[in-house]
Amino acid sequence: MKISKFLLILFFIFSANIQKSFSDDDKMIKGLEIFNEIAGCAGCHILKAAGSEGNVGPNLDTVSLTEDSVKEMVTYGLGVMPAYGEENILTKEQIDIVSFYVANTAGK
């Protein structure tokens, strides 16, 4: 009984990890789509991972960013960069996803 409980717990832990991993992969795929096509980040930023060559904002390959700092920037904007959150250009979920994507590709 104890062994089966232990195996059950192991199964859940394993499943959770698998789920997280898939979730992150999904976010990377969706994040790329938002970056290149929905939000238009690619029009202004260089990011090797996205194949983008925009030269208005900072080259994202040259900076290290945390997910929170990207979220802040995407939500409230700066200078010519729109406030994607405040102006309802992107949904909160989209901002979360593209921020995850950028934080995991910028400066790499």
Binding mask 58-97 for another protein (x = CB under 8 A): xxx-xxxxx-xxx-xxx-xxxxxxx-x----x--------
CB 23, CB 30: distance < 8 Å: no
Helix axes 2-33, 92-103, angle to 10 degrees: 90
Residues 4-43 that bind another protein (CB under 8 A): 36-43
Of 12 and 93, the one with the shorter C-beta distance to another protein is 93
How many residues belong to the site for another protein (CB under 8 A)? 43
Per the CB < 8 A criterion, the answer to whether 25 and 34 are in contact is no
DSSP state of 78: B
**Tokens in use for 90?**
């992107």
Decide if 34 contacts 90 (C-beta within 8 A): yes
| Closest CB 22 distance from another protein, rounded Å | 23
Minimum Å gap between C-beta 12 and another protein is: 35
Nearer to another protein, 25 or 53 (CB): 53
Is the CB of 19 or the CB of 91 nearer to another protein? 91
Q: What is the DSSP letter of 81?
A: B
